Chains A and B, each alone.
Chain A
Amino acid sequence: MNSRIGYIAFNTFREAVRDRVLYNLIAFALLLSGAAILVGEISIDIERLVVVNLGLTAVSLFGVVIAIFIGIGLVSKEIDKRTLYTVLSRPVRRWEFVVGKFFGLTGTLVVNTFLMAIGVFLALLYVAHKFEKTDGWVLVALYFIVLQFLIVCALALFFSSFSTPLMSAVFTFALFVIGSLAEDLRGFARITHGAGGWLATAIAYVVPNFSALNVISQVAHGDAVPGRLILYNSVYALLYSAMAIAGAVLIFQRRNLK
């Protein structure tokens, strides 16, 4: 990796880790894992199912909130506070800044997810008293959640390269919600004809397919995740993020920093 991108990424990570909002969200996630344990205690024979479902959903939602909350401010905050001026007056190219910021935030989310995953596994151990072989699939679900974060971060960065933080948050969250229903949208497109069908198909394929990256329910039931899906999802998330980042770079390269 280009060393300047690495320095910017590390600085972004350091800023996020020192940000108290991030600490609060981690605390909330741990609290939710605690709630999962409570629900597991009062459920009969479905403790594991409840803990995995609740725990992973919490990891996903808290991560998405962090990704949007910090992602939308990655560029706009630096412009508003003019911290960017002293960075770009150095031998730093604008694309290096955007890519460095992206890596910094995704790095933060990976560390954050790792810490929350420990909470989920501790909760599992607490209710089941031992790990089972099928618990390994929880790791795959966590990996897919991280892939979701890559896309959300890239989208937040893309929207914030030309829009206000509030609108960027609205756009990114809307795409997350629509993308989570992408499979349903594709199903709807298949049964709709004419212009409506074309439109539904176009939207279904343009929005990020978050539903394919959600295997929480599957792994909660102890079902295996096909290797082919892991490969497809990895390639899909990387390509989608790369396109969103490329879009952000293209816009940011031409932007006047008022």
Chain B
Amino acid sequence: MTAIEILDLEKSYLVGFWRKRPKLALRPLRLTIEEGEVFGFLGPNGAGKTTTLKLLMGLVFPTAGRARILGMEIDDPRVKSQIGFLPEQPYFYDQLSARELLNYYGQLSGMAAKGRSARVEQMLARVGLSDSAGMQLRKFSKGMLQRVGLAQAILHDPKVVFLDEPMSGLDPMGRREVRDLIQQMRSEGKTVFFSTHILSDAEALCDRVGVIHQGELRGVGAVAELTSGKQGKVEIIFCAPRVPAGLASLGAEARVSGDMVNAVLPEERQDAALEVLRRERLKLISLTPVRSSLEEYYIQKLRPAENREEENRKGVGA
């Protein structure tokens, strides 16, 4: 079943003081996300990611187009009990404690009094905030607020979760924890739609990604496909103080780092390269095919249209 269906959603704002003129924040966007999918919405700052999320949350109104979540129009009040939302750099009522805040959001989400407290404690434990549950939020660090934000987004057990830059401002440990939480959501069958500009997170978590730039969706693809494309090259890592002469003559691009050598060369010369290593009695560490990365796809989609057409003609990228 389709979880999110975006049908030519468009948003423009009027800017200027005297002579107001429309500024397009989101060009007609058409996108479908299936239930249980983890979808990464990629793009640089100001690309239109947050605008899209705000439109889906009903925080801003579309200039044109419509969207459905779980088959319901986004302005249908029933939708809201099925979704969870974490805004970018969340800020909460700082006079409340994490426990009070979650309890309040539980009330607003229509959770029954019976079982609400237990669910709040469960969520606090899940994001590692049980020990700070009674502390006022104004004393929380950015990372702790992000965890509270995640807890409130999944508190009422929504089917679809929207996360706006969930890793923003987190230290490596915090990012790891958020990644684990998203993995858990996936295993629970939830649909996760998250915006990010951290490509490694998207590559590690997403089933599919969409790249948006200057308010325009530039491309959508499955991460597995985008990163499985072979480039016809292999990377060989082996122990040696310098690059053997035989390897250089095979056209390898090699660099020495300490007593290790990293060499990239055409796939068809792989056997010849291994023969050189055997002859020189050098220890092989690894041999891996060079694959396309999400970063290459992202960079390609961000380039102006004419450059992309040129590259496509040459057969570069997905």
Q: Chain A residues in contact with chain B, CB under 8 A?
A: 3-4, 7-8, 11, 14-15, 18-19, 81-93, 254, 256-258
Contacts and interface: CB of A to CB of B under 8 A. Distances in A.
10 smallest beta-carbon distances between A and B, as pairs:
A89-B85, A256-B60, A91-B80, A18-B95, A85-B87, A257-B59, A7-B107, A90-B108, A89-B57, A81-B91
Contacts, number: 79
Contacts of A254: 61
Contacts of B104: 7, 11
Q: What interface size band does chain B fall in?
A: 20 to 34
16 contacts: A11-B93, A15-B93, A83-B92, A85-B90, A86-B85, A86-B92, A86-B152, A87-B105, A89-B58, A89-B59, A90-B108, A90-B156, A91-B78, A92-B108, A256-B60, A257-B54
Which applies to chain B's interface (DSSP): helix, strand, loop or mixed? mixed
Which one of B58, B85, B107, B152 has the greatest number of beta carbons of chain A within 10 Å? B107
A78 to B, nearest CB: 9
B135 to A, nearest CB: 14
A89 B105 CA distance: 10
Given A83-B92, A83-B93, A90 B105 contact: yes
Given A88-B58, A90-B108, 9 more contacts: A4-B108, A7-B108, A82-B89, A82-B90, A86-B86, A86-B90, A89-B85, A254-B61, A258-B60
A145 B293 CA distance: 68
A44 to B, nearest CB: 48
Which applies to chain A's interface (DSSP): helix, strand, loop or mixed? helix
A15 B149 CA distance: 19
A24 to B, nearest CB: 15
Nearest to B162: A89
Nearest to A85: B87
A107 to B, nearest CB: 16
Nearest to B58: A88
B117 interface: no
Interface string B59-81: 11100000000000000011011
Contacts of B60: 256-258
B63 to A, nearest CB: 10
Contacts of B162: 89
Contacts of B57: 85, 88-89
B315 interface: no
B212 interface: no
A14 B95 contact: yes
A7 B116 CA distance: 14
Contacts of B105: 86-87, 90
Contacts of A85: 54, 57, 59, 85, 87, 90
B227 interface: no
Contacts of A91: 77-78, 80-81, 108-110
Contacts of A8: 108
A249 to B, nearest CB: 16
A65 B125 CA distance: 42
A104 to B, nearest CB: 12
A257 B91 CA distance: 15
Contacts of A256: 13, 59-61
A47 to B, nearest CB: 41
A82 B84 CA distance: 15
B95 A89 contact: no
Nearest to A79: B59
Nearest to A94: B58
A60 B104 CA distance: 32
A59 B26 CA distance: 51
